[in-house]
Structure 1
Amino acid sequence: EGERERENVEGERENAEGERERETAEGDERLRDTERFKFSPEPSLEDIRRLHAEFTDEREWRRFHQPRSLLLALVGEVGELSELFQWRDGVSAGLPGWTEREREAVGEELSDVLIYLVTLASCCHIDLPQAAARKMAINCQKYPVQSARGSARKYTAPNSPPTPTDPT
């Protein structure tokens, strides 16, 4: 009986390892897909900041651009973006099966989010590219590859039980 139990445990372990390998392969494929996609180099965030500042100044809207108002506008645009994804199960990278008009709508809403984010950063005098680079360095320290690979756990809970969305 002990032998049969050991075989069951080993079989379960092999099944779990096989599932992890499949998930890793799927994740690797998504990674390769994202490596193929690149943003165009222009316009830069500074170009976007300048263009939107000109747009705002021409309309004399700068007086309305306080951090709180910009943040609330940004949240509103994120809400509009989320509506495009609401009720769509299993949306994959690249948005396969979406019409060209649906993809354009996503691009428009992402643009609104980006413009408000850049404008908010400018209003707060935050150099967004520099802040993002610093934050990536911090994240590399918080989530070392050897302990974070394949896990969705937050860095503050490295030994907590896996969450339902955690692939491990």
Structure 2
Amino acid sequence: MSAVSRVQSPEPADFRKAMGSFAAGVTVVTGCHEGRLVGTTVSAFSSVSMDPPLVMVCLKRDSRTLAALSQTKAFCVNILAQEQGDLAYRFAKSGADDRFALTAVEASASGAPLLAGCVAAIECDLHAAHDGGDHEILVGRVLRVVTDETKTPLVYVRGAFLNA
């Protein structure tokens, strides 16, 4: 028996606490499916490759946004600004249908909405999808980026937004 097989998995609460100690930027991943705008808050986001330019996001398997993006094959990662905490909460709410009601959006070439006031927007085509346990790992090929360096990014750690 290997050393790895003898190690027990951590308690879920302990694992959540440990992962919550890692500060993460906050994004809203958006798309458009059959004329309906979809989006969800995501903190599991990272660059993957510079050549070709690739990023990855992780979405819950039961997410309506994931279901839509799997069909459209295009999405936008909107990196939220420090003053957009309310937007992060609105898009994190499960089943909320009014997510875009108070949000100015701009359509991208792929149709995925870019949210106004963000630090950056990264438009992607779906490059690959991978099993990630209770999440799906989407790898996006970056088509276009829009940045606003005058904005400070929103950061989440230990269950709260970090204020600079």
TM-score range, shorter chain: under 0.3
TM-score between the two structures when normalised by the length of structure 2: 0.22
Hey, which of these two has a bigger chunk of helix by percent?
Answer: 1
Name the larger-Rg structure. 1
Hey, which of these two has a bigger chunk of strand by percent?
Answer: 2
TM-score between the two structures when normalised by the length of structure 1: 0.22
